[in-house]
């Protein structure tokens, strides 16, 4: 789990970016981002950072942009949580490739009346995950913007040939998912409907929405042991990610509704508010769980060893089938219905 936020920050609550300036802020954070990571040759403060790749490894490269009002609301997420979440989202992408994160650069577009203490809390949030999983912040760009926007680009390393792609699934492979799905979306639903019933169970869902945990240990176990033929992280929603995996691998899938792992918090919250947990689980998004395929020959070893080695529950929810069979959801009643991909599209007409 991520470290908890510190009680106080070093800056006075009154300093704003306008009062300390861009370079003043960079000086402030530079000291706190000094690295002991031996692969980092040069950190913050030059035109670019310098790092040394590890022999025999390939690099993975990912980026995520979060925009205020679209991806988060500074009224409901603290700066520390936002920093931790932005970092977690990128680490999750590395984990989905089976890679360990190494270095990251952070771009911030910030309103000039933004408090420096809040920005420091944001950096502390990023560092909590960064330090836990080895992702060192080595550079960035801080610019003025009317609306808060953050972008992290992250490099990870994976043993050559071991990366987990979306395209490796084969018909016959079992499809697994880590943890439980739908919690984050239900947490968001509660934030947007604060008069809903079930505040106690909802607080766990809200926590999963605001402070997601990247499945680093699972991704690393899958790639080093070569247990998985493909993997993807669940950012847009389970149904949407299953479609991505099937499309890239050229296969179909059969998913068993009853096998989809739902938390008791989600079930309680949905029961109290007459909502369908399956909607959140299939189409909710932002779970940052891993979805991966395991060939028949490796299932027993993976199922036996994964929980102990990773501390994370992994559940089989179905299997990959030839492409012609399509992507099918088998309901609790045994009906076979096409599984529609209803993930989050930032530009969808309804949005």
Which of positions 125-144 make contact with its own copies (CB under 8 A)? Answer: 138-144
Which residues, 160 to 219, sit near its own copies by CB under 8 A? 160, 163, 165-167
Residues 6+ apart with CB under 8 A from 249: 166, 167, 168, 169, 170, 230, 293, 320
Q: Does 346 bind its own copies (CB under 8 A)?
A: yes
Number of residues that bind its own copies (CB under 8 A): 77
Q: Does 6 bind its own copies (CB under 8 A)?
A: no
In degrees, rounded to 5, the angle at the alpha carbon of residue 242 between the alpha carbons of residues 173 and 264 is 100
Residues 6+ apart with CB under 8 A from 153: 61, 62, 63, 90, 104, 105, 107
- Chain position carrying tokens 């930032």: 346
Binding mask 289-328 for its own copies (x = CB under 8 A): ----------------------------------------
Residue number with CB closer to its own copies (49 or 210)? 49
Q: By CB under 8 A, which span of 6-14, 149-157, 189-197, 322-330 interacts with its own copies?
A: 149-157
Residue 142 to residue 245: CA distance in whole angstroms: 36
Residues in the chain: 351
Q: Which of 23, 297, 333, 334 binds its own copies (CB under 8 A)?
A: 23
Residue number with CB closer to its own copies (5 or 79)? 79
Q: Are 288 and 92 in contact (CB under 8 A)?
A: yes
- Angstrom distances, CA of residue 337 to CA of 126, 253, 256, 320, 340: 42, 12, 11, 16, 9
Binding mask 242-261 for its own copies (x = CB under 8 A): ------x-------------
Q: How far is the CB of 80 from its own copies (least distance, A)?
A: 21
Which residues, 46 to 105, sit near its own copies by CB under 8 A? 46-53, 58-67, 69-71, 92-94, 96-97, 99, 103, 105
- The edge-to-edge listing of strands for the beta sheet with 251-256 is 230-233, 290-294, 174-178, 314-322, 251-256, 327-330, 336-338
Q: How far is the CB of 115 from its own copies (least distance, A)?
A: 12
Residue number with CB closer to its own copies (204 or 294)? 294
Residue number with CB closer to its own copies (66 or 303)? 66
Q: Does 147 bind its own copies (CB under 8 A)?
A: yes
Q: How far is the CB of 132 from its own copies (least distance, A)?
A: 19
Residue 180 to residue 287: CA distance in whole angstroms: 8
**255 φ/ψ angles, rounded to the nearest 5 degrees:** -110, 135
Q: How far is the CB of 281 from its own copies (least distance, A)?
A: 20
Residue 269 to residue 246: CA distance in whole angstroms: 31
Residue number with CB closer to its own copies (200 or 345)? 345
Q: How far is the CB of 74 from its own copies (least distance, A)?
A: 15
Q: Are 348 and 237 in contact (CB under 8 A)?
A: no
């Amino acid at each position: 789990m991520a470290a908890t936020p510190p009680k106080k920050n070093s800056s006075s609550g009154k300093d704003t970016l306008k009062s300390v300036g861009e370079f003043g802020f960079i000086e402030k954070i530079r000291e706190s981002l000094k690295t002991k990571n031996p692969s980092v040759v040069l950190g913050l403060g030059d035109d670019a950072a310098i790092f040394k790749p590890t022999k025999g490894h390939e690099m993975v490269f990912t980026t995520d942009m979060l925009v205020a009002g679209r991806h988060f609301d500074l009224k409901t997420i603290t700066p520390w949580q936002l920093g931790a979440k932005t970092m977690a989202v990128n680490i999750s992408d590395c984990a989905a490739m089976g890679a360990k994160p190494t270095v990251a650069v952070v771009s911030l577009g910030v309103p000039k009346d933004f408090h420096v203490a809040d920005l420091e809390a944001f950096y502390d949030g990023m560092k909590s995950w960064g330090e836990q999983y080895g992702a060192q912040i080595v550079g960035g760009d801080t610019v003025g913007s009317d609306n808060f926007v953050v972008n992290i680009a992250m490099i990870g390393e994976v043993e050559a040939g071991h990366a987990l792609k979306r395209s490796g699934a084969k018909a016959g492979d079992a499809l697994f998912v880590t943890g439980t799905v739908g919690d984050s979306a239900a947490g968001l639903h509660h934030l947007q409907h604060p008069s809903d019933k079930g505040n106690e169970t909802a607080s766990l869902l809200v926590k999963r929405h605001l402070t997601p945990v990247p499945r680093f240990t699972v991704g690393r176990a899958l790639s080093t042991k070569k247990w998985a033929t493909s993997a993807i992280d669940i950012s847009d929603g389970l149904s949407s990610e299953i479609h991505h995996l099937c499309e890239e691998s050229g296969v179909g899938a059969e998913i068993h509704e009853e096998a989809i792992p739902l938390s008791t918090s989600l079930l309680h919250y949905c029961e109290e508010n007459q909502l369908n947990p399956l909607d959140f689980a299939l189409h909710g998004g932002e779970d940052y769980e891993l979805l991966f395929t395991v060939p028949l020959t490796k299932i027993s070893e993976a199922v036996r060893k994964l929980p102990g080695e990773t501390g994370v529950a992994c559940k089989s929810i179905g299997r990959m089938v030839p492409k012609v069979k399509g992507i099918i959801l088998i309901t609790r009643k045994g009906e076979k219905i096409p599984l529609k991909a209803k993930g989050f599209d930032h530009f969808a007409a309804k949005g």
